């Protein structure tokens, strides 16, 4: 694993740790905030907090390091916002019908949704090892949705959480198309777009109960669990791809489960314990995958943040530039072999 991949992995894990607090803390706040309002204020907190960070960054940044979104990214941006309206609403409603620990662990189904969509629609490679992981996580998710194994009845809350995971799986792949651009700009658009959209839906369906202290807490939670978490997630996607990033992100549910046991004293049943073991094995297979083969880089002209010591950016400048910077640059066609992830320069077919 090279330095760039190590950095991306750390970002993915930071993202997972920050998001882990979401389910247990949200369940506490849902006592005073309705589900759709809660979803709205979580994303508004993310948008507002990241906007403040953006202003600070703008005043302190000397060189342009990130590329801005253009009209070419509008379709993915709109899809990202709409899916980010639906997903947290499903999750918040699901949390009112199922335990926080159950919801936290079920969030791993997002790996399955993200990986399959990445394969089917965006042609990301799925190795045999990753398929084993997907199968185990799917089996674990099915066990977690079963409410009564003797009569095989399914938990309504668990199904809603899985619907949220599917929405986020599609959204992850849309965001992957934008990861080449400024992550801060993407999170701000996500935050305000999805937050305002969720609040409009809440007011339309009659959710108007306002508790200011809980709303402030929800927005603070949103800044950390959604804003900063998504920011780090996008940086990780840039170098790891959608499927691989989601596998590292899988540590989040386990942290969420631990927090749920501490906060709510939920005692897991046998079915939950079996599902947890299967989920851990599946996560291990996903996170230890190695990808190496002979591949071709086609001619390409694009703009994104890059440096000149990564082996893929060897173009020259009139004046020497050190570190990360952003400008339109050209890649010549090259064929070579090395360990790589499904980053922005390795989205080739297999």
Helices 74-95, 183-204: inter-axial angle, 10-degree rounding: 50
Strands (E), 216-255: none
Which range has the worst mean pLDDT, 134-143, 193-202, 325-334?
325-334
Which range is most confident: 133-142, 184-193, 230-239, 326-335?
Answer: 184-193
Percent of the chain with pLDDT over 70: 74
Cα-based distances in Å from 277 to 105, 120, 158, 171: 11, 28, 18, 28
Task: Enter the tokens of residue 16.
Answer: 């997972």
Residue 258 neighbours by CB distance under 10 Å? 14
pLDDT of residue 203: 92
How many CA atoms lie less than 13 Å away from 188 in the CB half-sphere? 15
> For residues 264 and 121, what is the distance between their CA atoms, to the nearest angstrom?
40
Residue 110 has pLDDT above 60, yes or no: yes
Residue 348 has pLDDT above 50, yes or no: no
Contacts of 210 (CB under 8 A, 6+ apart): 37
Task: Enter the tokens of residue 125.
Answer: 């490679």
> For residues 30 and 38, what is the distance between their CA atoms, to the nearest angstrom?
7
Residue 345 neighbours by CB distance under 10 Å? 21
Question: Of 162, 120, 128, 160, which is closest to residue 142 (Cα–Cα)?
Answer: 162
pLDDT, tens digit, 9 for 90 and up, residues 238-285: 777 776 777 676 677 778 777 888 888 766 678 778 878 887 888 777
Between 175 and 148, residue with greater pLDDT: 175
Strands (E), the chain: 146-148, 153-154, 292-297, 300-306, 325-331, 334-339
pLDDT of residue 138: 78
- Are 242 and 3 in contact by the 8 Å Cβ rule? The answer is no
pLDDT of residue 13: 87
Q: Is the pTM of this model over 0.85?
A: no
Residue 225 has pLDDT above 70, yes or no: yes
pLDDT of residue 78: 95
> For residues 80 and 115, what is the distance between their CA atoms, to the nearest angstrom?
17
Percent of the chain with pLDDT over 90: 29
Cα-based distances in Å from 342 to 116, 118, 124, 203: 14, 10, 7, 41
Question: Of 298, 301, 299, which is closest to residue 328 (Cα–Cα)?
Answer: 301
pLDDT of residue 151: 45
Cα-based distances in Å from 173 to 242, 245, 246: 6, 11, 10
**Res. 152 pLDDT band, cuts 50 70 90:** very low
**Res. 312 pLDDT band, cuts 50 70 90:** low
> For residues 78 and 193, what is the distance between their CA atoms, to the nearest angstrom?
9
> For residues 91 and 93, what is the distance between their CA atoms, to the nearest angstrom?
6
pLDDT of residue 291: 55
pLDDT, tens digit, 9 for 90 and up, residues 35-79: 999 999 999 999 999 999 989 888 877 566 778 888 889 999 999
């Amino acid at each position: 694993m090279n330095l760039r991949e190590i950095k991306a992995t750390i970002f993915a894990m930071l993202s997972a740790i920050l998001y882990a607090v979401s389910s247990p803390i949200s369940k506490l706040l849902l006592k005073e905030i309705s589900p759709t309002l809660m979803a709205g204020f979580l994303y508004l907190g993310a948008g507002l907090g990241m906007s403040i960070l953006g202003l600070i960054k703008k005043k302190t940044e000397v060189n342009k390091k990130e590329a801005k979104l253009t009209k070419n990214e509008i379709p993915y941006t709109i899809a990202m916002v709409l899916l980010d309206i639906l997903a947290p609403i499903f999750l918040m409603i699901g949390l009112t019908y199922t335990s926080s620990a159950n919801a936290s662990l079920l969030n791993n189904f997002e790996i399955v949704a993200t990986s399959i969509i990445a394969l089917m629609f965006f042609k990301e490679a799925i190795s045999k090892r990753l398929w084993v992981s997907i199968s185990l996580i799917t089996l674990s998710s099915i066990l977690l949705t079963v409410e009564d194994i003797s009569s095989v009845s399914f938990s309504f809350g668990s199904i809603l959480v899985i619907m949220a995971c599917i929405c986020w799986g599609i959204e992850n792949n849309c965001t992957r198309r934008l990861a080449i651009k400024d992550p801060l700009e993407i999170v701000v658009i996500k935050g305000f777009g999805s937050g305002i959209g969720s609040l409009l839906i809440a007011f339309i369906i009659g959710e108007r109960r306002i508790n200011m202290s809980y709303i402030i807490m929800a927005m603070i939670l949103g800044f950390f669990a959604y804003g900063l978490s998504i920011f780090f997630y996008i940086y990780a996607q840039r170098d790891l791809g959608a499927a691989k990033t989601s596998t590292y992100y899988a540590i989040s549910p386990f942290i969420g489960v631990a927090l749920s046991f501490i906060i709510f004293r939920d005692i897991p049943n046998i079915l939950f314990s079996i599902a947890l073991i299967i989920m851990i094995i599946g996560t291990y297979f996903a996170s230890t995958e190695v990808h190496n083969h002979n591949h071709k880089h086609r001619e390409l002209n694009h703009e994104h943040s890059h440096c000149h010591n990564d082996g893929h950016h060897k173009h020259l400048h009139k004046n020497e530039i050190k570190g990360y910077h952003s400008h339109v640059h050209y890649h010549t066609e090259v064929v070579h072999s090395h360990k790589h992830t499904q980053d922005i320069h390795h989205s080739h077919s297999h």
